[in-house]
Each structure stands twice: as structure tokens, then as C-alpha cells.
Structure 1
């Protein structure tokens, strides 16, 4: 890929990873529109940049949980265990079905249908009232269901952030806590995906610049999503995903 292509993909990854519109779907669409030869290893390596963005955004919560573990606080220990439960399904699905999911990057019609599903979830999310559970209060069953949703979001076109937010709120979590839990639970997955693929990416100045742009745009997107989920305005992204779905299915 050329340098400007890596920068464009970095910006797209940073914004769409956190805006509930599916980063993988948009990377595939942008690659098609700009005739960029898809390099799945670079797509995955971009996840390391989004890991950095999430870590910087939720670092206070990470510090709080870590201090609790050091002090043998029961609530912090329980939350950590639930985060592990939420992570396991995506790890298993990713390892077993990686080649199948990779093949879907070239199936834009499938991506279009999955984008419509993401859009419907976002519209429904706005219609659901905020629950009463903090992320410390959720059950192990809640954690597993959110984790299964994250595993499903490996499909290009399904938004990881959008689908896990939807499931968390559906299970009775406060919307702000759903936001925090969704992104904290993503840290092991995004870090793992990024680190595993970085070895296959030539770390040139252009590729590093793409990673930097992905991190910066990710931080901006996180701020936007946090405000919109609290204000019940995620339907904006729902309508966008449905329109994008129509465009992809009809014109690409």
C-alpha cells in the first residue's frame, strides 16, 4: 500500500472502530472504493493503535480496577473475572474461524446486510431506557452474553462497540457503564490482534503514521460516542448504517 492509503485507512479505523458503524466493514468498503489492495495484516495491526486509544481513554478505570486487585477488593476481583468471561468467546471464535472471517472482507453484499443489522441494533439501543446495573453489578451470565456478542462482531459489518453496547443495555446496565465495560473488555482482543499482526507489517514511516492517525482519530471518536450514548442519540449511526447498507448492496 502507498503511504497516503495507510494514513486514510488509519483514520477510517480510528473513527469507525469506536463509532458504532463497524470498522472492518468500512475498511473493506473504502479499500474497494479507492482500489486499495486489502492487506488484512495491516488492518489487524491497526487494532494496536485503537488499543492505545482505548487504554488512554479508560486509564482511570483501569487504575481503579488494578488498585482494587492489589488491595484484594472483592468487587474488583469479580469484575476482572467477568471481563475474562467476556473475552473468551471472541478468542475462541477468532482462533477457530479466522480464515473464514477473513474471506468475508471481499463479500461486500454480505457486509451490506450486516451493516443493516448494526443499524437496527443502534436504533433499538436508543429506544431502551438506561438500566440500573453498574459494570460491577452485572452477573456472570450478563458477561457471557456480552462476550458472545463481541465474538459475533468479528463479522465485517457488525460493529463491536455497537453490538456490545446494545447487549449491555439490554441486560440492564447503565448506559455510561455499558460504554466503559464495552471498551475495557475490548483491550485484550485489540491488543492481541494488533501485536500478532505487527510482525507481518513493514514498519515504515508511512505505516507508523497510519497507526498514529488511527490512535488520534480513535480518541476523538470515543469522546463522541460517550456523549451520544448518554444523550440517546445512537440512532444517528443506526440510520447511517442502514443507508450505507443500501449503498453497498445496490452500487458495489
Structure 2
């Protein structure tokens, strides 16, 4: 993997992790469409470690919120009033939302790994993302702020997050759709989507990083990995800021159209190449 390829993939990861168009799909599709002949083991190691760059982005962007949530959460446990403070409740809701994806990810890991090796499945799952976005726009009333979120909303968004363990189903797209179907407004759904990504990204990133570092020769590619990590962190931060502003006044349908086009193009190229 060249330095230029690493930076490009890092930018793709940073942008598509938070925009509702599936980062996992783009990391699978981009090398396929560009006909890059990359070592699968090195690509896996790179993808896993660079995804941690987007974790850094979301932590930096929401640092004040995360600190307030963590502080209130700990104080609530100390004073045995875990649900009194709104920030403490939000912390519990974030943990609740993380459970479905964690359980499903562990129970069907081989199936998920097989899907990551299938260009056809990735293209089809992009279509699923498009459907989720369109249904959320169609059915969601979008009249509730973040302060009104309840445990059931968090659980619903958690189940939508669990769908995103497959490549092509956008984590942010699925969870924002889930929030909108609970009638949260777009910005509130997106904000909680980003906050609830932290525990699952932290757990998955830590476990997968340990596995990735066991791949022979992975330490020989530290420069491309570092370049991709930095690119993902910077573009991820910018993507969060842009999307939160965009969703104040604009719908998700353009992202749905993009997913349909990208998925269709991927499937077409797959069959044309035989």
C-alpha cells in the first residue's frame, strides 16, 4: 500500500464514517473500483487501525458533552441516584444502545467477516441503507429534541446500530433513521448517534486492533497507517461538523440516492468483471 493510497482511504474512512453512506462499504468498494491489488491481510490491518482515527474525531468534537456525561454518570453511582441528572441518564442510554450491536457482533462474527469479503453483498447492503433513510424521512415526525430521549428510543437506535455490523449498512445512517422513526428531529438523532458510537467503536477498535497487530508484517506499514489515521481523524471531525449543520434544514434523501447509485454501480461492475 502506497502513502497516497493510505491517505485516500483515510479520507474516505473519515468522511463516510459519519455521513450516512457506510464507511465499511467504501473501504471495500474503493480498492475494487480502482482495481488496486492490495494484500488482504494488510488491508484488514489498515482498515481496523484507521477506523480508530474516526473515534478520535468524535471524542474531540464531543469532548465537553462526553466529559459532562461521564462526570454525571460517576457521581450518580456514587450518590446512588443514577437517573436523576439528565447527563447521567444520557450515559445509561448510550450504554443501553451499545448492547444490541455488541451481542450481535459476537454471535455472528463469521457471517460478518464473510460479508466483508463479498463485493456483491456490500453493494446490496448499500441499498438497505437507502431504504432505511427514505423510510425514516417518510414516517418520522421529527418533532422531539435530544432532551426528550427515553430508554426505549436508545434501545431502538441500538438495534438499528446492530444492523450496521454488515458492510454497506451505514452505522450513522441506520441509527439516525432509528432516532427519526422515534420522532427525534434530524439533528437530535444525529447527535445521539455520534455519542452512542463511542463505546462500540472503543470496544470494537480495541479488540480488532489487538488482532490486527498479530498479522505478520503489520509493523512494516506504520507510515501508511499513521497517514491514514491522521487523514481519517481530520476528515471525520469536519464531517461531523458539516452533517450536524446540514441536518438542521435538509433531508436525508440525497444520501439515500447516493447509496442507491453507489450500490448499483458496484453491482454492475462486479458482474461486468465476471
TM-score for both structures, normalised by structure 2: 0.85
State whether residues 50 and 225 of structure 2, in contact with CA within 8 Å, keep that contact through their aligned partners in structure 1. Answer: no
d(CA) in 1 for partners of 2:50, 2:207: 11
Alignment of 1:13-24 (within 5 A): 13-24=13-24
d(CA) in 1 for partners of 2:144, 2:188: 10
SS of the residue aligned with 2:247? helix
- 1:71-91, Cα deviation, whole Å (9 max, x unpaired): 535322222111111001111
CA-based RMSD of the aligned residues comes to 1.8
Alignment of 1:112 onto 2:123: yes
Alignment of 1:48 onto 2:66: no
Instruction: Identify which of 80, 90, 95 aligns with 1:84.
Output: 95
Q: What is residue 142 of structure 2 aligned with on the other side?
A: 130
d(CA) in 2 for partners of 1:191, 1:67: 18
Q: In the TM superposition, what is the alpha-carbon distance from 1:54 to its structure 2 partner? A: 0.6
- 1:74-129, Cα deviation, whole Å (9 max, x unpaired): 32222211111100111112222222211112211211111112112223334433
Q: What is residue 182 of structure 1 aligned with on the other side?
A: 193
Q: In the TM superposition, what is the alpha-carbon distance from 1:15 to its structure 2 partner? A: 0.6
TM-score for both structures, normalised by structure 1: 0.92
State whether residues 144 and 183 of structure 2, in contact with CA within 8 Å, keep that contact through their aligned partners in structure 1. Answer: yes
Alignment of 1:61-210 (within 5 A): 61-72=65-76, 73-127=84-138, 128-134=140-146, 136-199=147-210, 200=213, 201-202=218-219, 204-210=222-228
Q: In the TM superposition, what is the alpha-carbon distance from 1:171 to its structure 2 partner? A: 0.6
- 1:191-217, Cα deviation, whole Å (9 max, x unpaired): 222222334142612211110000011
Asked which structure has the greater CA Rg, the reply is 2
State whether residues 86 and 146 of structure 1, in contact with CA within 8 Å, keep that contact through their aligned partners in structure 2. Answer: yes
d(CA) in 1 for partners of 2:142, 2:112: 33
State whether residues 118 and 158 of structure 1, in contact with CA within 8 Å, keep that contact through their aligned partners in structure 2. Answer: yes
**Number of equivalences:** 251
Q: What is residue 29 of structure 1 aligned with on the other side?
A: 29
d(CA) in 1 for partners of 2:236, 2:134: 23
d(CA) in 2 for partners of 1:8, 1:37: 17
Alignment of 1:244 onto 2:262: yes
Q: What residue ranges of structure 1 are gaps of 5+ in the alignment?
A: none
d(CA) in 1 for partners of 2:3, 2:206: 21
